[in-house]
Structure 1
Amino acid sequence: MSKPDDAGSSERQHTAAAESEHPMEWDEAPNNRKPASDRQTISEREEKDDARKIVTGESKYTADYAKHFPDLAAGSVLRSDIAHGRVTEIDASAAEEMEGVYAVVTPDSEEVPDKPYTSSGQPYPEPSPWDLHVLRREVNYVGDPIAAVAAVDGDTADRATRAIEVSYEEEEGVFDTAAATNPDAPQIHDPDNIENHQPGADYERNIESHIEGEIGDVAGAFEAAADSDDRIVTETEWELPYQSHCVPEPHTTIAHRDEDARYHLITSTQVPYHTRRQLSHLFDVPIRDIRVSKPRIGAGFGAKQSMLIEPITIALMEAAGRPVKLETTRREQFYALRSRRPARVRMRSVVTDEGDVEALDLSAVTNSGAYGPHGMTVGSSVGSKPLPLYTHAPNIRFEATAVHTNLPVAGAIRGYGAPQGHFALEGHMDEVAHELDMDPLELRARNRIEEGDIDDASGVLSGGEHTRRIRSCGLGECIDRGKEAIGWDEVEQPDEEHLHRACGVALTAQKSGVAGDELGAAHIKMNEDGSFILQTGAVDIGPGADTAMAQIAGEVLGAPPEDVLVQPSDTDVSPFDYGAYASSTTYVTGQAVKKAAEKARTQLLEFAAKLLDEPPETLEARDGAVHAERTGESVTLEEVGYGSIYGDDERAQVMGEASHSTDESPPPFGAQFVDVTVDDRTGEFEIHDLVYAVDCGVAINPDLVEGQIEGALHMSYELAVSSGYSFDEDGTPETLGFRDYGMPTADDQPPIESIIVETHEPTGPFGAKSVAEIPVNGVPPALSNAIRNAVDVRVSDLPITAEKIEAKLDTADEAAD
C-alpha cells in the first residue's frame, strides 16, 4: 500500500503514551500460535455437531418440550391495532367466559408487573432506556401488547384474544424521522416516564439519543478545501429500510414453576443470563429463584437478543396456575417484535487530487420505532465499525441520532449498525473514485487500514477510550484474492449493446465482541473413558459454536472433538456468559474454554506422569493419548480417566474452569466483490457472482466459516434487493409474511465464492477473530458500486430495483438531451 508523502497532514501523529498503551507486542501464551502442520483439531473441517440432528428432525427446540407438561396451557397476545394513543377500556368478559380459557391478563392484572424495563439483552446496567411495560395502556405502534390469554389450546386462546374488546383514545401518529423531530410533531414518550435516559435524549422532539465525536478539525479541513485547487469535496446521501431477521423458529417460551416453586423458563433466547437478571428485576424475584434453559435455537441473528415474550408468559403462568407455552406467529415476527432499523446517512469527504483522504464526516439518523432497545448502541456502530477502514484520515467526525416514530421497534440484528454505515461509506468512496477518475481499488489502497496501525477511528465517540492497535490485518490479501477471483481486470462486455457488465467492490470491518464489556466462562471435566463434558453459558444459535468450542478444547487436551460433549446453556448449571451477540462467542468464550482446558490438561498430565513415570513437563497430549517425549511410550486418555478416578494412590476428577474478559476487540476484515450485468433499457440486472474474502484470524473450522459467509451474504443480498416493510398512511403494517416481504429464495441467490485469508490474532484463542457478522456488510454497497460502474447511475436508497435503475437512466437521458 502506498502512503502519502506528507505524513503530517494525512496520517495522525500518535503520542509516545498512545504507542505505549497499545503495544504491537502481546503477551501471548506459547501454545497459542501453532503452525498449520502442528494443529490437531483446530483448522479442521469438523462436521457441525448438530447437523445430522437438524436435518433428520431429531433436534429439540423449545416447542418440542411441550410434551413434558401434560397440563400445559397455550398463550396468545392481543396487540394494538392503532399506531398511537391510549387504551381507555378493556372488556375481557366474553373471553373469560369462553370454555377452555384459564386466564386473561391486562395491564391492571396483579400478575403483570408495572415496572419499566428494556427488552434489550445487554450487560448491566443496560445501555438502553427503560421505556417498556409488559402490557401497555399507552400504545405507540401497531403491535404493542395490551392483553394476553391462556387457554386449553392455541385455537381457543386465539379466539379468546379476538373476543377481547378494546377502546382507544387515538392520537396522531408520526411515521418519518424527519417529521418526528419537528417541534410540532406528536410527542411519543413522556420523559418523566422513561428511566435511564440516553445521551442527547430530547423526548419533546422524539429524539431517543444523540451522540457525536471528532478527531482532528473536520470543519477546518472543509474550509481549507474550499480555497484549494488540489482537493475535492464530495457529498452523498444514503437510505436503508427495515429488514426482518426471518428466523425459521419464531420466539417461543414455556414457563412453569418447578418442584421448589422456582420460575423455570425454557425459551429460545440468545441471552439466558441477561434474561434471568431482567426477569428478576421485573417480578421482584431473587435471581436464585429463576432458571432459564436454552434448548436448540432455530436461528437468532439478534432477534432473540431481546427479551420479548418471557414476561408475558410468566404472567399468564401465574394467572392460570399452570405451565404456559407462548409461541409467536409469523405475522407477529414481522410487525410486532424487532427488526433492523431504517437509516438515513449523509457522507462528506475531503480528498486530495492524488487520492489521499483528508477528512470524513458521517452523519446518521436511525429510526428506533416506538421504543429504544439498542438505539444508541446501534447508532454508534453505524460509524464506529466502518470508519476504522480509513483510520489514517487525520480528520474524522461522526454523529448519530436515534429517533422515535410510531412504527415497529428496531433492535439488534446481525451487523448491528455496520451495514448501514458500510453502505454509505463504501458507496461514497466509489463516488470519490469516479470524481478523481481513479480505480476504486487504488483509492482504497492509498487510505486503508494496515496491520500495526493504531486505530483512533473506532474510538471517535469515546475521546480515544476505544483506540486500539491492529495486530492482525489481512485486508490487502483479501482485496488481491477477491480481485483475482471476480476477474476485476478481465471483464468482457456482452455482445448486445444494451447490456453492460462491471464489477463493484466494498471493504468491510467489524468487531470481535464488545471491548471491555464481555465475559465468558467455561467448565470442563473428564469422564472415565477419556471423554470430556464442556459447559459454557454461551449460546449456539445455529452457526456451530458448540463444535468450535469442542475443537478448541480438543486442541488443548489432545482429544478428538467428538469426545468433547458440549452441554446446552442452562443458568442453573452453566458458567456465566453474556450470551451470543456482538460476534463474541469464538473470541471471548473460546478463550475461556481454552483456559479451562489448559487447567484440566495440567491435571491430566500429572496423572499421566504417574502412569508413565515421567515428569509432566516432558509429556504431550495428542491423538487421544499422552505421549512421553523421552521413551516414546504413551497412555490413552481413557487409561488416564480411569486411573484418576479409581487409582490406588490418589484420586481426583480431572477438570478445569476459567473466565475470560478483555478490553480488546480485534476487527476481522473483508472485501466484497460483485459481478453484474445491467440492461440499460429496463434497468434489470443479473448478478453473476458474489465473491467474499475474509480475514477472521485463524479459522477454527473452515466449514463453519464458509457457512457463516454464505448465510450472511444471503442476508446481505436480501437487504440489497428485497422489498422491505411497507405501511399504510396510519402506520398499519402491510408486510405480514414471507410472501409480502419478498425474501430471495435459494433459486434467487446468486453464486457465492468464499475465500478465507488466514492471519494470526494474538489476543484470540489460537489466533482466531470473529466472522459471524462481517459478511453481512458488503453486498449493498458493492452491488450499488457495480451498477454505477456498469451504467453510470447510482442507486443510493435500498432496495436496489430495476425500476429505480430505469428511472435514473431515463433522468440521465433527459438531462443529456
Structure 2
Amino acid sequence: MSRPDGPSGDQNAKSTSSTEPGSADGDTPDDVSSAAGRDAVSTAAEKRDARKIVTGEAKYTADYGGQFPDLAEAAVRRSDIAHGVVTDIDTSDAEAIEGVYAVLTPDSAGMPDGPYTSAGQSYPEPSPWDLRVLRRRVRYVGDPIAAVAAKDTDTARAAARAIDVTYEERPAVFDPDAAVSEDAPRIHDPDAVENVQSGADYDRNVEAHLAGEIGDVEAAFAVAAERDDRSVVETTWETPYQSHCVPEPHTTIARRDEDDRYHLVSSTQVPYHVRRQLAHLFDVPIRDVRVTKPQIGAGFGSKQSMVIEPIALALAIAADRPVKLEATRAEEFHAMRFRRPSRGRIRSVVTDDGDLQAIDMSVTTNSGAYGPHGMTAAVSVGKKPLPLYAGTPNLRLDATAVHTNLPVAGAMRGYGAPQGHFAVETHIAEIAREIGMDPIAFRRRNLIGEGDVETASAILKSGDGHGRRIRSCGIDECIERGKAAIGWDDVDQPPEDHRHRACGVALATQGSGIPGDELGAAHIKMNEDGSFILQTGAVDLGTGADTVMAQIAAEVLGARPEDILVQPSDTDVSPFDYGAYASSTTYVTGQAVRKAATEARDQLFAVVARLLDEPVDDLVAHDRAVHAESSGSSVTLEELGYASIYGDDAREQVMGEASYSTDESPPPFAAQFADVTVDERTGEFEVHELVCAVDCGAAINPDLARGQITGAMHMGYELAAGGELTFDEEGRPNVAGFRDYGMPRTADQPPLTPILVETHEPTGPFGAKSVAEVPTNAVPPALSNAIRRAVDVRITDLPITPEKVKSALDQRRESADDV
C-alpha cells in the first residue's frame, strides 16, 4: 500500500503542499505538529449552531413545511404480521375521507416496483437489492404496505388506519440459529433479489457469509494440544438490537419544483447517495433530483439509510403537491433502522508467558427482514477489534449475516465495532485470568504499537500487501491516564461484606473513513470584507463538523473561524461528498477543506506580492492579514477582499476548490474504564464512574472532541446496561417509545469522564484522525470485566442486568455446593 505524504497544513507555509501519495518508506509530517503557534485549530471555538439549537431557532426538516402553503401530510400503513403475502388492499374507506389527496399501494400507477437497497453507502452498493417501496410480500411487523397524503397529519393517519388489508400469513422465524435450519421458513426468494452478496444462501436465510485467515489457525491449536505451556480459552457472547434514539424523527419533504425537478428536504446523513438512489428508483436523470440537508437532530447512522424518502416522493407525485412524511416515535422503534444483534464464539491459544498465538472468531449477525449493510457490518464485528492484537500470528474470522422476521438492521455508530469489542475484550480478560496475568499487563504485551503494520483489518482480502501502518498510537498513554483517573490501583472496598468494588478495563480502536472508498470535496471563496464562504458536501449531524471545517479553513487562511461561513449540504450547489459516516468527516473532508483553503491562500499571496512588491516565499497569513516577514509590511484580509475584486490593475475572485480521497484510515485508540460496586445478595450494581481516554490524533476542537467522547460513552452505557428492543412471540414490538425502551436518563447515568490523549497523525489535517465512534465501543466489555473482577461472574449477553448477575451468582454457588 502506498503511503501518502502528510499535509503541510500550517497557515505559515510558504508554498502549496501536496497530499498525493508519496514514498512508502516515510512521511512528511505537518509543518506544525503541536498546538503551538496555531490560531484557529486546536482551540475551543464555539460550536457555530449551539445557540440556535438551545434557543429553538434552528430549523429542521419539518420547520420548512411552512414554505409550502399547499403542503400535504403523510402516513404509512404498515404490516400487522411478521411474515406473509398481502392478498387484498381495500382503500375505499381511506379515499372517502375528506381531505385525502392520494392513497398509494404497490399496484398504484407510477409506483416504482424495482428492487433497491436503503443502504446509503458507496457505489455499487455493498448490500443486496431486496426492498420495494411498498410491499405485498411482508417480512416483519412494520413493513410498508400503503401510504396516504392528506390535508393534515390526523387525517393522513386516520386514512392509513382505514385501509383494510387481507393477508395470507406464513410461518415466521425470529432467531438467527433457527433461521438457518433446513426446515425454517424461507424469507426471501433468491430470484427476486439483485446484487446478491458473497456467500448468500437464501434457501437457508443467509444474506452473506465471508471468511478469512492469516497464518494457520488449526496448526496453532494442534500445537497447543501437544504442549503443556499453551492454553486454549473459549468464550461466547450475544448482543441485542439497539435503537439510535434520535431526537428528530426521520423526516422528509418531497416536491416537484418550478423546473419540474424533484426536490427533497430531508434529514439525511448522505444527500448525494440519496440523490443517486432516488434517480435509479424513479428512473430519472440524476440532474433532475435535488436533495437539501437542513439542520439535523442527530443521526448516529440511522439516517445513513434511505428509509422514507421514496415514499414521500411517490406521494408528492401522486398528490401533485409537496408532501411531508415524518415518522412517529413508535415507527422509530420498530420500522426504521437499528444496531444489529450479534452472537458468536472466540477461541484462542496463549502461552504461559502471555503471548497470543491464535485467535479464531466466528460471528453471526441478525440482519432482520432485509439486508442493508448486512455483509459489511457483520464482518466489521471482527475486523474492527482484531487489529488491537494484530501481532497475533494466526487469526481467523468467519462472519455470517442471517435474515429473520424482525425489524431491519442498518448502520449505527461504531458499525459492528461495539459488538466486536464486547466479544474480544471480555475474551482477552478471560485469557488473562486463565494464565494469572494482570489484565492490563497482558494487553500491553500483545498490543499493536506505533510503527507496526497491521493486516487484521484486511483479513478478508486475499494476497499480500493489504494492511495499514500505524503512524500514530497513544494507547499506552490512554491506559495510564485512564488508570489514574479511575483509581485503578487504589480501590476502597465497601464496609459491607456483601458488597464488592472493582474496576474493569477494555481497549478499543476504529478507523478514520473507509480506506480507498471515500471522497470529500470543498469550495471556498472570498468576500469583499475578508470573510469566506465555504461549501462542502459533508453533513453536520450536530457533531460540530461545520465548526471544525471553519477552523481548518481559518487556520490556513489566517482568518478567524467566525469569518468562515459554512453552508449546509445541497446537492445542487455543494461539492460532492460521500456523507457523514465511518468517522470520515474530519479526516477526509477536512483534508479537502485544507487543500481548497491552501489554493485560495496561494491566490491571496499572489495579490499581496503585486501590491507590496514582496516575494511570495516571504509571505505568511495570520491575524486576519497577510504579512511580509522580512519587511514587516502587511495587508488585511478585508483590504485584500476589495483589492482583488475592484483593483485597478488586476481583478480576480479569490477562491479555491479541491477534493480528497485516500487509501489511508488511521485508527484512533481508546482505553475505557468502569468503576463498579456489586451487591452479591441481589446482583444489583452501581457504576460510580466511566472514564474514557482517547487518542484521536490532534483535536481540532478539544471541547467538541470531549463532547463526542461523552456522548459515545452514554450510547455505550445504554447498550451495556440500558435499553433493549424486545418482541412478543408473533414478532410484534414491545417498545413504542422512550418510556418502554429504558434508555438511561439523567438520574441513571453515572459520571462520564472524557480524556483527550493527543498524538500527531501525519496523514491527517493538522495531525487529526477521528473521534466520533471509537468511544462507543468499549463501555460494555469494561462493565462486564469490572463485574467479573468484583464478584467473579461473567455476563456474556447484553444488556447486563441485576437479574443476570444474580442468576450467575446463584449458579456459581450451586456449582460450589456440588463440589
TM-score by length of 1: 0.97
The residue aligned with 1:100 is 99
Matches within 5 A, 1:456-475: 456-463=455-462, 464=464, 466-475=466-475
Distance (Å, rounded) in 1 between the aligned partners of 2:151 and 2:725: 34
Matches within 5 A, 1:380-419: 380-419=379-418
Distance (Å, rounded) in 2 between the aligned partners of 1:437 and 1:623: 58
Distance (Å, rounded) in 2 between the aligned partners of 1:375 and 1:466: 23
The residue aligned with 2:788 is 788
Distance (Å, rounded) in 1 between the aligned partners of 2:156 and 2:281: 25
The residue aligned with 1:734 is 734
Q: 695-704 vs 747-756, which deviates more?
A: 747-756
Measure how far apart 1:22 and its partner are: 8.8
3-state SS, counterpart of residue 419 of structure 2: helix
Distance (Å, rounded) in 2 between the aligned partners of 1:481 and 1:684: 29
The residue aligned with 2:177 is 178
- In structure 2, relative to structure 1, the CA distance for the partners of 1:158 and 1:465 (3 Å cut) is farther
Matches within 5 A, 1:205-224: 205-224=204-223
Distance (Å, rounded) in 2 between the aligned partners of 1:199 and 1:659: 32
The residue aligned with 1:8 is none
Which residue type is aligned with residue 538 of structure 1? A
Matches within 5 A, 1:696-707: 696-707=696-707
Matches within 5 A, 1:441-456: 441-456=440-455
Identity rate, percent: 70
Which residue type is aligned with residue 735 of structure 2? T
Q: Alpha-carbon deviations, 1:4-25, whole Å to 9, x = none?
A: xxxxxxxxxxxxxxxx999452
Matches within 5 A, 1:189-268: 189-268=188-267
Residues 1:89 and 2:123 are matched in the alignment: no
Q: Contact 2:256/2:317 (CA < 8 Å) preserved in 1?
A: no
Distance (Å, rounded) in 2 between the aligned partners of 1:466 and 1:636: 48
Which residue type is aligned with residue 214 of structure 2? I
Q: Alpha-carbon deviations, 1:434-459, whole Å to 9, x = none?
A: 11111100000100000000101111
Which residue type is aligned with residue 555 of structure 2? E
The residue aligned with 1:643 is 643
The residue aligned with 2:770 is 770
Which residue type is aligned with residue 67 of structure 1? G
Measure how far apart 1:611 and its partner are: 2.4
Q: Contact 1:419/1:776 (CA < 8 Å) preserved in 2?
A: yes
Matches within 5 A, 1:33-182: 33-182=32-181
3-state SS, counterpart of residue 593 of structure 2: helix
Measure how far apart 1:735 and its partner are: 1.0
Give the RMSD, CA atoms, in angstroms.
1.1
The residue aligned with 2:813 is 813
Q: Contact 1:23/1:469 (CA < 8 Å) preserved in 2?
A: no
Matches within 5 A, 1:263-412: 263-412=262-411
Q: Contact 1:466/1:515 (CA < 8 Å) preserved in 2?
A: no
Measure how far apart 1:497 and its partner are: 0.7
Distance (Å, rounded) in 1 between the aligned partners of 2:519 and 2:763: 15
Q: 749-758 vs 525-534, which deviates more?
A: 749-758
Q: Contact 1:508/1:670 (CA < 8 Å) preserved in 2?
A: yes
Q: Contact 1:22/1:454 (CA < 8 Å) preserved in 2?
A: no
The residue aligned with 1:492 is 492
Distance (Å, rounded) in 2 between the aligned partners of 1:61 and 1:338: 20
Measure how far apart 1:607 and its partner are: 1.1
Distance (Å, rounded) in 2 between the aligned partners of 1:610 and 1:720: 62
3-state SS, counterpart of residue 243 of structure 2: coil
Distance (Å, rounded) in 2 between the aligned partners of 1:351 and 1:129: 39
Measure how far apart 1:816 and its partner are: 1.2
Distance (Å, rounded) in 2 between the aligned partners of 1:748 and 1:320: 47
Distance (Å, rounded) in 2 between the aligned partners of 1:812 and 1:384: 34
Residues 1:26 and 2:2 are matched in the alignment: no
Measure how far apart 1:111 and its partner are: 2.7
Which residue type is aligned with residue 376 of structure 1? M
Measure how far apart 1:345 and its partner are: 2.0
Measure how far apart 1:276 and its partner are: 0.2
3-state SS, counterpart of residue 266 of structure 1: strand
Q: Contact 1:214/1:396 (CA < 8 Å) preserved in 2?
A: yes
TM-score by length of 2: 0.96
Residues 1:660 and 2:660 are matched in the alignment: yes
Distance (Å, rounded) in 2 between the aligned partners of 1:667 and 1:23: 18
Q: Contact 2:242/2:723 (CA < 8 Å) preserved in 1?
A: no
Residues 1:599 and 2:615 are matched in the alignment: no
Distance (Å, rounded) in 2 between the aligned partners of 1:632 and 1:174: 76
3-state SS, counterpart of residue 611 of structure 2: helix
3-state SS, counterpart of residue 548 of structure 2: helix
Which residue type is aligned with residue 681 of structure 1? R
Measure how far apart 1:753 and its partner are: 1.1
Distance (Å, rounded) in 1 between the aligned partners of 2:33 and 2:440: 33
Which residue type is aligned with residue 702 of structure 1? P
Q: 490-499 vs 560-569, which deviates more?
A: 490-499
Q: Contact 1:22/1:469 (CA < 8 Å) preserved in 2?
A: no
Residues 1:752 and 2:766 are matched in the alignment: no
Which residue type is aligned with residue 513 of structure 1? G
Which residue type is aligned with residue 272 of structure 1? P
Measure how far apart 1:476 and its partner are: 0.7
Distance (Å, rounded) in 2 between the aligned partners of 1:110 and 1:359: 58
Distance (Å, rounded) in 1 between the aligned partners of 2:489 and 2:25: 36
3-state SS, counterpart of residue 74 of structure 1: strand
3-state SS, counterpart of residue 656 of structure 2: strand
Which residue type is aligned with residue 793 of structure 2? V
Distance (Å, rounded) in 2 between the aligned partners of 1:58 and 1:352: 61
Q: Alpha-carbon deviations, 1:697-738, whole Å to 9, x = none?
A: 000000010010010000000000114111111111111111
3-state SS, counterpart of residue 54 of structure 1: helix
Q: 459-468 vs 72-81, which deviates more?
A: 459-468
Residues 1:544 and 2:554 are matched in the alignment: no
Measure how far apart 1:465 and its partner are: 5.8
Distance (Å, rounded) in 1 between the aligned partners of 2:774 and 2:325: 33
Which residue type is aligned with residue 83 of structure 1? A
Which residue type is aligned with residue 734 of structure 1? N
Residues 1:686 and 2:686 are matched in the alignment: yes
Distance (Å, rounded) in 2 between the aligned partners of 1:735 and 1:466: 44
Which residue type is aligned with residue 623 of structure 1? D
Measure how far apart 1:430 and its partner are: 0.4
Distance (Å, rounded) in 2 between the aligned partners of 1:731 and 1:110: 32
Q: Contact 1:474/1:695 (CA < 8 Å) preserved in 2?
A: yes
The residue aligned with 2:516 is 516
Which residue type is aligned with residue 674 of structure 1? A
Distance (Å, rounded) in 1 between the aligned partners of 2:33 and 2:193: 52
